A and B are shown apart, each in its own frame.
Chain A
Amino acid sequence: MKTKTKMRAEPKGVLTETHNLNGNQACAEGALSAGCRFLGAYPIVPALEVCERFLERAKEVGATFIQMEDEISALAAVLGASWTGTKSMTVTSGPGFSLMMEHLGLGVMLETPCVIVDIQRAGPAIGIPTLPSQGDMMQARWGSHGDYEIIALSPSSPQEMFDFTIKAFNLSERYRVPVTVMSDGYVAHLRERVAIPPAGEIKIEPRRYYKGPKDKYLPFQRDEDFVPRMVDIGDGYRFHVTGLTHDERGYPIMNEECQEFNVHPLVRKIRNYVDEIIEVQEIETEDAEIIIVSYGATSRVALRAMEQARKSGIKAGSLKLVTVWPFPEKRVAELAKKVKAFVVPEINCGQIVFEVERGSYGNANVIFVPHGENGVDNPDGLLSAIEQVTKERKVKEGIIEYK
């Protein structure tokens, strides 16, 4: 009955083969492979194909889809469904992501595993629905009120949309936290080959179920790694959980001690395990003097710029962030001592570049390249920034932006 306790993917959801899919479709396939059987969403450009693909496959897989009345209720329904033991997901873009901040906070507080896919588009407000952007990166980290830690992944290709969606489900079950997949309109609509492995080769993180006597269950009694154990609705535990600050029993307690008891572990369960969570991909960073720090769609252009820079004799390398949150500050700090500069292209007016600057502790120049102004696939701006930074003789304060 409980497919989510297995360590490998359920074959029913896995379309093993090499397909030609766009990022959104690959995301839906990733979710189904990970065992996701509930998708609650509200229509928004450029995220629609995730719902459409999910629905196409709903019958054979036995999954449920509901188009809710807004993004607020979409994520609320996802949280509810997750507590029934059904792996659940929602998908949206910037305007909807803003509405979801309310339940991102509830998901963190109730420690509910779920996945939120944000196909970022140009903002603020309605912006340009079809223009790719990376403008929600800070929102993913700080968007909901109060103290919390979050996990965010950033895919750069349809294959990674598939892989990272599975990874997101696994991380959310492991740490009992909502995990966001921060994609963008470019990757979502990019059509490429996606290899879906056999079900037996897809590792699935099982839900952390409580297995003791029924009358002894405490919903927020934590294991050593600060993660509490879950039960399903309807299994006879008759538990209570609340969005108010609560004790081990899940009962609201309104005092400072309980605030610390409740909220500090929400942060510690991620912060103490950043080394396990964080994944980066490094290319030619051993001898690099200049490292391009990128994530998502931008990583594709970063590679091209790096190759061109190498051709013209500049020792360039690439640090690609798979996990954007928690930010790999330790690795950035290590690299900062070795390199002359970090060049950070982003499809926004500067967000993750602040983290890179913080992580470099004044040991390297940090150059921001507002990438995408001449097209997301154009490496020229990046390349010219790399060429200019080689002329810098000392480390300058703050973030440099070449005009």
Chain B
Amino acid sequence: MEALKTLQEEIHPMEDVLRMDRMPHIWCPGCGIGLAVTALSAALEKLEMDLNKVSIISGIGCTGRAAGYVKLDSFHTTHGRAIAFATGIKLGNPEMKVVVFSGDGDLISIGGNHFIHAARRNIDMLVICVNNFIYAMTGGQVAPTTPLSAYATTSPYGCVEPPFNIPYIADSSGAVYVARWTALHIRRLTNSMVEALNKRGFSVIEVISPCAMYYSRINRLGDGLDMMKFYHDNSEIRHWEDTKNLDIAFQTPIVVGKFVDRERPTYMESYNKWLSEMKNGPRKPNKK
């Protein structure tokens, strides 16, 4: 009893980074989003970053609630637009470290356009995309990441659309850092976040997470822990793998690792360079 009491009174190890007044969170038992949040807070602690200078922005959905639980300047915005909102924050105050934390449906479906354009411009931000292969908050609808033949409430005969390969989109759109881990690769995921937070430019980390309540239940894949173990044990670490080869099929091995790590000038670097080189205002077209 004594031990339990001390344990209860003790401060939570992540109290600095989490909003304890918002606990318990809304995520189901066996969900991987919490692990991704844990990895992020561990990465922030490891880097000893000034937490006043880090901002977290989420869209809508299960993962979209993450911003509400992290004790930073945090914004829970509209569906799919977290990256666009974060772009404004980064440009408005370039001192800020900006983290976008959202799900696959939010970032890749409704927010797909913002995702590729922020990558192309190389806006300095870290995008953490938790991929659970389904729209979970709304009750298990098919997502742009649902593997072929997997069931969802809106694909009762099995998904007929090929899914997006998130690292491939990020890579081909110009992201400077791309990695993928499952939620159980907690140490490697944390290390990737540390690396990505140190990068200047658009970094993407995909986190494969079980959805125990919908994806797993509809497809009869056991509970959340079974799924989490399945993803972890069936993953194959292949660093620097060509992102073309990272498609995920239904219940087959998942390639994880760090795939892209390169340098490219960010939007603000290019913009400021352009401003400093401009002597007499912008170049005007020749007048005839």
Contact = CB atoms under 8 A, between A and B. Distances in A.
Contacts of B113: 69-70, 73
A215 to B, nearest CB: 12
A56 B78 contact: no
A238 B114 contact: no
A313 interface: no
Contact of B91 (A64, A232, A240): A64
A235 B53 CA distance: 8
Contacts of B73: 83, 233-234, 237-239
Nearest to A68: B84
B24 interface: no
A233 B89 contact: yes
A350 interface: no
Indicate the size class of the contact surface on chain A: 35 or more
B92 A59 contact: no
Interface string B92-106: 110110000000000
B71 A76 contact: no
A103 B74 contact: no
A64 B271 contact: yes
B89 A84 contact: yes
B65 to A, nearest CB: 8
Interface in A211-259: 232-244, 249, 251-252
Contacts of A241: 74-76
Nearest to A76: B84
A327 interface: no
B contacts with A: majority SS: helix
A contacts with B: majority SS: mixed
A239 B52 CA distance: 10
B88 A106 contact: no
A83 B77 contact: no
B183 to A, nearest CB: 24
A102 to B, nearest CB: 6
Interface centre among B51, B57, B77, B90 (most CB of A within 10 A): B77
B180 interface: no
A120 interface: no
Nearest to B123: A66
B93 A234 contact: yes
A162 interface: no
Interface centre among A69, A88, A110 (most CB of B within 10 A): A69
Interface of B: 19, 21-22, 51-53, 55, 57, 67-68, 71-78, 81, 83-93, 95-96, 113-114, 117, 267, 271, 275, 278, 281-282
The 7 closest A-B CB pairs, nearest first, are A80-B88, A84-B92, A73-B84, A81-B92, A77-B88, A76-B84, A242-B76
